[in-house]
Structure 1
Amino acid sequence: MLKLLIIFLAAVAACCGQVPNMRVSYTLFKKNNQFIGTTITESVPGIFNSTQDTIFLIHGYAGNTVVRFNQLVRDAIFDFRNPDDYNVIVVDWTLEASFSYTQARNNVGNVARNLVNFIQWLTSDPTTTTTTTTSITTTTTEQPTMTTTAQPATINVENFHFVGFDLGAHVAGIAGRILQEDSQLVGRITGLSPSGRQWGAGSERLRRDDARYVEVIHTDTFGVLANGIEDPIGDINFYANGGNNQPGCLTHSCCHDRAFELFAASMINPNLIGRGCTSNTQMNLNLCRSGELNLGGVELSKTGLNIYRINTSRRYPFY
């Protein structure tokens, strides 16, 4: 019976132009409604602005829409000290993330495909925020007449930024990979302590070529109970305090969460600066001296070395 219901709902979504597979939901936030978002269902809300960058927040294992990762990062993006506005879309895959870790890990690929379906729907929906053009016509006997014409907006995935925490980082990576099969390249992916358990080198984990620019913040990489990945899987990798034993943390969970805490802080404070490393050994020994680069932020591209070490303090703003 449940299977028939799911098939029926999928058919309804297909015929009516709704967001596919509502087991994953998408909620849009803007600066003027950063606390109460708009769930995207049958059409793109009018507050979506195609001329602004779009940031997708993708939670991890056992997460949901109101998990601390989403709230902290969203509020930092819309902080009053940041003049720019963005389309922030929270990806809620609570149901698929709430089983055992192994089952949630196995659901990552399907969630990524759902995200791709959503993006393809978003970029093709004719109700997406329109741009306007104004023309002026005149005659010899009349005053000039101004005519405003609405035109379909163009949404470019190169202006998309996926921010994924834990398993969400791999959702972002797989989605970026699938989009490339349709010649669409996401502008940036930020992996916040990407989950390491069951994500070995041969898996479909986040990779540096999944977007035009991939940044990874490592905060919990050491020990059999570590949650994160130690390998430098991004274009640029920041290892906070060597990638483990975060100041003020007594548990792996605290170290794991420090990744999104640092990322959120980076959007308000420009003083989270890493030093370039020429090797993992240099990074582990805290001997990095090869230039500096700001951690985090929301700019869509950066250039630098593959590995940076950043030493932080125990509490916000962490420098």
Structure 2
Amino acid sequence: MPLTAIRAKPSELANISLRLYTGTTLDNYVEELVGNAVNLSNYLNSSKPTLLYISGWTETPESSSVLSVVGAYLKRCDHNVVLANYEDIATRSYPFAALSVPGVGYTLAQAFNELVKNGLDSSTLHVVSHSLGSQVSGFFGKCVDFIVPRITGLDPAGPGFDMMNENLASGDARFVDIIHTDAGIYGTASNKGDANFYPNGGNRFQPGCKFSLPYSDNDFCSHHRSWQYFTESLESEDAFVGQKSKSYRSFKSGFSWGAVAVMGYGTPTTANGKFYLQTNSAFPYGRKYKGLTYDALF
């Protein structure tokens, strides 16, 4: 069977929609199919920057990562908040969803090109994406007619993408920052962002996560820590501070290159390299500057 037979068809891509939240709660929104995305221009606040959130495999607008990240942005009241809703594709088999990533990214890019033509200020756009959505965001950045200022990848999906060497990477936006929490399993082992953050080494098991049956809900615990950490950074911008270092071993040994950077929403776009930090095992996960010093008891 040719690969084209197991990826989204144009008719399926046309069913992708953009949901623009119009209040401070998740139940207030307007939603348009990508072909009619220009209609959202009437609801955008030109005085606010715009956030585009792209969720991951199996996720819908009611999934935890969406409710958490989008909900935290809405509480801030300082962004136009847009959700890419491609649930009919994301909830299919992983091979189908993964092979559809370039098409989804291209389709979303064309919708945003139209929004920019009708008044959206592209210079304020921040794309935040989780898992498979992070790989979508990379293609989005490659396909738009403008330079995306910033893409944040929350443990970008690894299966299929590492093997094909197709990953969210520096150059897909002016600044690409990535938070790794399950590297080499559900998350990518690639470190192609401008700034790559590795809380607790960047792989499983993240503190508070335990061994579980493969593909069970609990097995995604480390993978999901990425958006949980990011959500907390929206509420407390200095909750996570990373130390630039060659490796996690060097970080644990106290050897570093001196530079530090906030992880999450407040990451400076001048950050570059690999950053390591330690978190708590339960909320609040952030240890602020205490997380710069490795403590074997955590």
For this structure pair, what is the TM-score category when the shorter chain's length is used for normalisation?
0.7 to 0.9
Q: Unmatched 5+ residue regions in structure 1?
A: 1-6, 11-19, 126-153
Query: Cα distance 1:106–1:286, how it changes in 2: closer, same or farther (>3 A)?
Result: farther
Shift of 1:272: 1.1
Asked if residue 24 in structure 1 is aligned to residue 16 in structure 2, the reply is: yes
Cross-structure match for 1:232 = 191
Query: Is this contact kept in 2: 1:242–1:284, CA < 8 A?
Result: no
**Whose helix proportion is higher, 1 or 2?**
2
Asked if residue 69 in structure 1 is aligned to residue 36 in structure 2, the reply is: no
Of 164, 169, 172 in structure 1, the residue corresponding to residue 129 of structure 2 is 164
Query: Is this contact kept in 2: 1:174–1:205, CA < 8 A?
Result: no
Give the match's secondary structure for 1:262. helix
Of 241, 245, 250 in structure 2, the residue corresponding to residue 282 of structure 1 is 250
Shift of 1:30: 4.0
Query: Is this contact kept in 2: 1:56–1:162, CA < 8 A?
Result: yes
Shift of 1:47: 2.9
Query: Is this contact kept in 2: 1:31–1:85, CA < 8 A?
Result: no
Asked if residue 185 in structure 1 is aligned to residue 151 in structure 2, the reply is: no
For 2:177 and 2:95, the matched residues in 1 are separated by 25
Shift of 1:283: 4.6
For 1:284 and 1:175, the matched residues in 2 are separated by 36
Query: Cα distance 1:267–1:219, how it changes in 2: closer, same or farther (>3 A)?
Result: same
Asked if residue 122 in structure 1 is aligned to residue 115 in structure 2, the reply is: yes
Letter in 2 for 1:306: G
For 2:244 and 2:272, the matched residues in 1 are separated by 6
Of 219, 231, 240 in structure 2, the residue corresponding to residue 272 of structure 1 is 240
Query: Is this contact kept in 1: 2:74–2:81, CA < 8 A?
Result: no
Give the match's secondary structure for 1:40. strand
For 2:61 and 2:136, the matched residues in 1 are separated by 16
Of 102, 107, 112 in structure 2, the residue corresponding to residue 109 of structure 1 is 102
Cross-structure match for 1:210 = 172
Q: Unmatched 5+ residue regions in structure 2?
A: 1-8, 213-218, 287-298
Of 305, 308, 311 in structure 1, the residue corresponding to residue 272 of structure 2 is 305
Query: Cα distance 1:46–1:286, how it changes in 2: closer, same or farther (>3 A)?
Result: farther
For 1:313 and 1:30, the matched residues in 2 are separated by 34
Structure having the higher Rg: 1
Question: Per-residue displacement from partner, 1:86-137 (whole Å, max 9, x unpaired)?
Answer: 1110101111112211111001011001101110121224xxxxxxxxxxxx
Asked if residue 249 in structure 1 is aligned to residue 216 in structure 2, the reply is: no
Letter in 2 for 1:61: W
Number of residue-to-residue matches in the alignment: 266
Of 48, 51, 67 in structure 2, the residue corresponding to residue 52 of structure 1 is 48
Give the match's secondary structure for 2:152. strand
Query: Is this contact kept in 2: 1:230–1:243, CA < 8 A?
Result: no
Letter in 2 for 1:187: P
Query: Is this contact kept in 2: 1:273–1:292, CA < 8 A?
Result: yes
